[in-house]
A and B are shown apart, each in its own frame.
Chain A
Amino acid sequence: MYFGMNEHIMKQVGIRGKDIVVLGVEKKSVAKLQEERTVRKICALDEHVCMAFAGLTADARIVINRARVECQSHRLTVEDPVTVEYITRYIATLKQRYTQSNGRRPFGISALIVGFDYDGTPRLYQTDPSGTYHAWKANAIGRSAKTVREFLEKNYTDESIASDKDAIKLAIKALLEVVQSGGKNIELAVIRRNQPLKILESKEIETLVAEIEKEKEEEAEKKKQKKSS
C-alpha cells in the first residue's frame, strides 16, 4: 500500500535554509465552480512549526489536530515550545501505533515537517505512514520525487541557500523541474526565524519564476557564446 501511494501524490519540496525554511507544493487545478482555497496542504502546527502532507486529506486532518493539541500541551507542561524533532516524533509514534493495533488501518499520509527550534536552528523532517522519520537538508515527496531529489542533490550547496531569496528560488526551481504548467500551479510557504508561517501570494511567485526564467536564458546565452568563441 505504501509503495504504490507515491504515484498519486502531488509533488512537494522542502528546503532547509540558514535562516528560513521553505515548503513548496504543487497545486492541483480546481474545477471552475470550486472556490479556490489557498494551500489546503500546508498547515501550521504552532507558531514556529508547520507541516505539508501528501496523501489522504481526511487522515491528515486527524493527525494535524492531535499534533496541534500536543504542541500546546507541551507548552503547558514544559513551559517551552516544542522542538521540531519532538513533534515529529509524536506524529511518527501516533502513526506507528495505528500500524500495530487491530481493527485500525494506518494513516495514509506522508508529511514534511519544517520549523525552527527555540534556539534558532532550522529543521526539516519527513515522516511516512509506517511511522519512521528522518531529518533532511532538502527533500521531495510525491510523483517523480526521485528526479527532484537528484536535482536537489546537485544544486543544494551552501551558496545556493546563502540568502532567504536563494532558498525560495531553489524550491521553485526544484518544483519547476516536474510541474507541468509553470508558476501558476505552485504554492509556497516559508517560515523565517522568529516569524510566523507566511504563504506567498501568486504574484510574488510569478515574479520569482520570471527571474528564474531570465537567469536560465542568460546561462544559455553564455554557453552559446563560449561555444561559438
Chain B
Amino acid sequence: MALLDVCGISDWVKEDTFSSQKASVDRVNHFNFAALEPELAVPIGVDPAEFLKPFTDCEDGVEGVTIKLKHGTTTLAFKFQHGVMVAVDSRASAGSYVDTQLFKKVIEINPYLLGTMSGSAADCVYWERLLAKECRIYKLRNKERISVSAASKLLANMVANYRGMGLSMGTMICGWDKKGPGLYYVDDNGLRLSGNMFSTGSGNSYAYGVMDSGYRYDLTVPEAYDLAQRAIFHATHRDAYSGGTVNMYHMQETGWIKVSQEDVGELYHRFAAEKK
C-alpha cells in the first residue's frame, strides 16, 4: 500500500491482512477450496521432503536405513450395474501388534459419498475428515452436493502439497452424483485415478485375485455382495495385517446403505461348510 511504503514501515508489517497486494484478494477463501494454504504447520527452516529423502525408498536412500510404510489393510470397491460395492476389513496393526479388530475404515462423508482408508490410520482419518468438512462447506455455499470427481480432486490436491513428507494414505472415494456412480482412487502422492475396480492395502493382491475371477458388470445385487465379501475374507485369511470383520457398503442412486458387518471367523466356517 502506498502510504505504508512512504512511511518506511518494515516488511513484516506488510504481512498484515489488508496491507499487501496478495493478502486481501488471493488469501484462502471459499474459491480456493482450501488448496492454497497448507493446513499443517511444518518446522521452520527445515524442508521436510529433503529431510526425509535419505530415509525413504528412493535412489538417494541409504541402504538398510529406510522407513518402509506399508498400507496394512485390505479395502476394495467396484462398480457394477446396480451401483458401487465397497468392502473393507477392520484390523488396525502397529507392526506385528494388533491394535484393534474393530476399526472403521470407511468414512461416511455424506449420504451420497464414502471414503475408504488404507495406510497410516492417523493420516487417513485426518485428511478424510478434512475432506468431509470441505464437502459440507461446498454444499452450504453452492446449495448442491459436491460431485465425486470434485471431492476426490480436493483430496488429491490437499495431499499433493505434502508430497515426499512421509504421508501414507491410499483411499477410494465412492459416490453417486448427477453423472451417476463414481469411483476414484487417491493416494498420498496426489495420484488420482477413475476406474471400475480398485483394491488397496497389503492384502490387495489376494482381493484382486478373487474379484477378477468372479467380476462381471451385470452381477445381481446378492452376487455382488457375495463377491465383495469373499474377496475381503480371502485377503484377511492370507494377509497378516488384515482381519477382524468385513464391513460392506452398497452405493445406490438413493445413497449408500450398510449391507453387513461380519466377523471373518464366522465367514471362514460358513465358506468351509459350503465346500462340503
Q: Do the beta carbons of A79 and B29 come within 8 Å of each other?
A: no
A residues contacting B by CB (< 8 A) are 70, 73-74, 77-80, 83, 86, 90, 93-94, 97, 101-104, 119
Known: A70-B31, A86-B142. A97 touches B149 (CB 8 A): no
Q: Which residues of B contact A79 (CB under 8 A)?
A: 147, 149-150, 153
* Shortest Cβ gap from A137 to chain B (Å): 20
* Shortest Cβ gap from B270 to chain A (Å): 42
What separation, in Å, do the CA atoms of A74 and B24 have in the docked complex? 20
A-B contact count (CB 8 A): 39
* Shortest Cβ gap from B181 to chain A (Å): 16
The residue among B35, B142, B154 with the most chain A CB atoms within 10 A of its own CB is B142
What separation, in Å, do the CA atoms of A79 and B192 have in the docked complex? 13
Q: Which residues of A contact B150 (CB under 8 A)?
A: 77-80
Which 6 pairs across A and B sit closest by C-beta, in order of nearness?
A78-B150, A103-B1, A79-B149, A101-B18, A101-B24, A77-B33
User: Could you list 19 further interchain pairs (A-B, Cβ under 8 angstroms) beyond the known A77-B154, A79-B149, A103-B18?
Assistant: A70-B31, A73-B31, A77-B35, A77-B150, A77-B153, A78-B33, A78-B149, A78-B153, A79-B153, A86-B142, A90-B31, A93-B29, A101-B18, A101-B24, A102-B1, A102-B18, A103-B2, A103-B3, A104-B24
B residues contacting A by CB (< 8 A) are 1-3, 18, 24-25, 29, 31, 33, 35, 142, 147, 149-150, 153-154, 157, 178
Q: Which residues of A contact B35 (CB under 8 A)?
A: 77
* Shortest Cβ gap from A98 to chain B (Å): 8
* Shortest Cβ gap from B50 to chain A (Å): 28
* Shortest Cβ gap from A70 to chain B (Å): 6
Q: Which residues of A contact B154 (CB under 8 A)?
A: 77
Q: Which residues of A contact B29 (CB under 8 A)?
A: 93
B146 to A, closest residue via Cβ: A78
7 A-B interface contacts by CB (under 8 A): A74-B31, A77-B157, A78-B33, A90-B31, A93-B29, A103-B1, A104-B24
Q: Which residues of B contact A102 (CB under 8 A)?
A: 1, 18
* Shortest Cβ gap from A134 to chain B (Å): 16
* Shortest Cβ gap from A1 to chain B (Å): 20
What separation, in Å, do the CA atoms of A139 and B136 have in the docked complex? 34
Q: Do the beta carbons of B2 and A80 come within 8 Å of each other?
A: no
Which of B2, B25, B153 touches A97 (beta carbons < 8 Å)? B25
B144 to A, closest residue via Cβ: A83
What separation, in Å, do the CA atoms of A224 and B149 have in the docked complex? 64
Q: Which residues of B contact A80 (CB under 8 A)?
A: 147, 149-150
